[in-house]
Structure 1
Amino acid sequence: GSHDTMTYCLDKTSTVSGNESKLVKFLNKCMPCIVHPIIMKWSTTQVLTVTEQLEAGVRYLDFRIAHKANDPSMNLYFVHMVYTTVTVEDILWEVLRWLETHPQEVVILACRNFDGLTKKLHCHLIACLKEIFQCKLCPRNVSMRSFFPPLRMIYCNKANLHPTKWRRELNLSCLLSCGTIQFLFSKEYLMYHFLIFVSEKFFVAGINLTENLRYILVHPFGSLKKMTLQSLPCLKIWIKQQYPGPKKQCINIIAGDFIGNNDFVKDVIELNTKI
């Protein structure tokens, strides 16, 4: 899977999302020439287009959907701090075109966020999905609950997961160092920012590392891509240690940033040989 699938086409001229903090909006308004490029560097998580991601082997698309503030139209966009240049409807048609040339494939569209969506806009989104995919949608009489139980999202911290248990389950020492490569992330940083979706029988792990304001200030010439590529060798080791299946220690989908790098998709697909 790809985390924040649509950030390859963020709009450089876009306003900051209405869901962002007042401080970010204020700084971007006062110093756009400085703040906006920084936002772009730390918001872009993918460089491959959605079709290229599907061709690479991605079957789980993370769609963060939003409606622009003060936009009188019904157009919906994708968002990650700023909005995309393309609309949701355009991308849904693109996914359909790919599915039509790959009739044996199944793609999961994980739609979320819904910033600024009213009930009317939600209905519009559902209508678009039905109109575009039609019979390709999972039929109502097929219970997906037995295959994909409801997911709950957990940010791992001291409040909901004991640190020693977290380190044991995710081999945190492997994430922190790999051979001669030493990372700048502390154990506490990873415990607070490594994201995992959990249910009793279905696991989706988001192996995206999330920066905070302090990290950005300490690394003025850094970017999300640099941070991610630096960590890939150790994330690769962690991926190879995973097992798919219904047990609690298993993982079924792994979503990452910059999925075209370092054989990420290949390593995830190869986990199927362990079934």
Structure 2
Amino acid sequence: MSEVNRSLGELPTDSWMSHLPEALQEVPLFHLAIPGSHNTVTYCLDKSIRSPVDLTQPDVLKKLDKYMKPVVRPFVHKWAVTQGSNIKQQLDSGVRYCDLRIARRPRNHSKDLYFYHGVYTTVTVETVLKEIREWLDAHPREVVILSFSHFQDLDEELHNLLVETTKNVFVSKLCPRTESVTLRNLWNKGYQVIVSYEHGIVSFHDHLWMHIPYWWANKCKAEALVEEFERRKGRGRPDGFFVAGINLTEDLKYICSHPTESLKDLVMSTYPVLLRWVEAQRPGPSGGCINIVAGDFVAESRLAQTVISLNEHLLNK
């Protein structure tokens, strides 16, 4: 790795965008290499047995959870947590893409919305958005991409409420989808937040961006994930923003055969293989290039620094 490349990887992770060379400040964000976190808000999943499992879980798990909660729930929790650090810690670690999966909790008659993965979070969506706003206020030249997706049990009223909440929290920081998304332009206009939204309501709001494609390999082995992504790269990258999610997916067979382990054990043991693949990637507009790379337990790994370093390739053109 060259000295310059090392310097990009060693930029302060809480403000790495602010410190990019001038040449990279003119590159559209969808041609840069950007670190992200998969299922960003799972660090605060509800451990209480009173909390239901989320509606996407298999029927067999729902039945087991209903009758054997004290036994089943610890297993659900340790395989559902994908990030051990809170939102501000993730942003400090270099994360600039957040994967936000939003739901209304069953049997909750309030209009509060939560995140979910296996079970629901204890903190609301609005609380986390306000924490992101606070962080952005302290880092005025950093830009975050928030992907709202996998909506669960939201009706039209709740979608409208979520959109209005987003507007009220971020106000003038929201970037319209018609804007040029170079850092230089975003800085000049004070935009710091790009919100993609996986719902038809996006067409009625110019500050909402179309859903960002997320490459998900659905593999529990790092080598199989790499093989799948190489196949996809051969078919070319999507236009605009897209995510290569290097998050592994455990199946029931794997969980049952590793009863003393957790998702974190699986992820951390496979990061060496995954990071070697990331190190070999290049950002840019060409067919085989990457853009956002998202993973699990990002703040506990060197994923962010590795991804940021990839932008050196754009300086050598």
TM-score bracket relative to the smaller structure: 0.7 to 0.9
Report the equivalent of 2:278.
239
- The alpha carbon displacement at 1:200 in A equals 3.6
Contact 1:2/1:61 (CA < 8 Å) preserved in 2?
Answer: yes
Which amino acid is the alignment partner of residue 42 of structure 2?
Answer: T
CA distances 1:111-147 after superposition (whole Å, capped 9, x unpaired): 1111011110000000100111010001354277xx9
For the residue of structure 2 that corresponds to 1:135, the secondary structure is helix
For the residue of structure 2 that corresponds to 1:63, the secondary structure is strand
Match of 1:135 among 168, 172, 179: 172
User: Is 1:211 equivalent to 2:246 in the alignment?
Assistant: no
Match of 2:92 among 28, 46, 55: 55
Report the equivalent of 1:126.
163
Match of 1:7 among 42, 46, 51: 42
Report the equivalent of 1:109.
146
Contact 1:149/1:201 (CA < 8 Å) preserved in 2?
Answer: no
Structure 1 pair 149/80, CA: closer, same or farther in 2 (3 Å)?
Answer: closer
Give the alignment's Cα RMSD to 1 decimal: 2.8
Unpaired segments of 5 or more residues in structure 2?
A: 1-35, 182-193, 195-208
Contact 2:282/2:310 (CA < 8 Å) preserved in 1?
Answer: yes
User: Is 1:263 equivalent to 2:299 in the alignment?
Assistant: no
For the residue of structure 1 that corresponds to 2:299, the secondary structure is coil
- The alpha carbon displacement at 1:152 in A equals 3.9
User: Is 1:185 equivalent to 2:185 in the alignment?
Assistant: no
Normalising by structure 1, what TM-score? 0.82
Structure 1 pair 195/69, CA: closer, same or farther in 2 (3 Å)?
Answer: farther
- The alpha carbon displacement at 1:105 in A equals 1.0
CA distances 1:199-254 after superposition (whole Å, capped 9, x unpaired): 14544110000000111111111110000010011111111101001112111110
The total of aligned residue pairs comes to 248
For the residue of structure 2 that corresponds to 1:7, the secondary structure is coil
For the residue of structure 1 that corresponds to 2:158, the secondary structure is helix
- The alpha carbon displacement at 1:185 in A equals 3.5
Report sequence identity in percent: 43
Contact 1:201/1:248 (CA < 8 Å) preserved in 2?
Answer: no
Report the equivalent of 2:71.
34
Which amino acid is the alignment partner of residue 45 of structure 1?
Answer: T
Contact 1:194/1:206 (CA < 8 Å) preserved in 2?
Answer: no
User: Is 1:67 equivalent to 2:125 in the alignment?
Assistant: no
Normalising by structure 2, what TM-score? 0.72
How is 1:88-99 mapped onto 2 (pairs within 5 angstroms)? 88-99=125-136
For the residue of structure 2 that corresponds to 1:269, the secondary structure is helix
- The alpha carbon displacement at 1:18 in A equals 1.9
For the residue of structure 1 that corresponds to 2:244, the secondary structure is strand
Unpaired segments of 5 or more residues in structure 1?
A: 158-174, 176-183
- The alpha carbon displacement at 1:262 in A equals 3.3
Q: Which runs of 4+ in 1 moved over 6 A?
A: 189-197
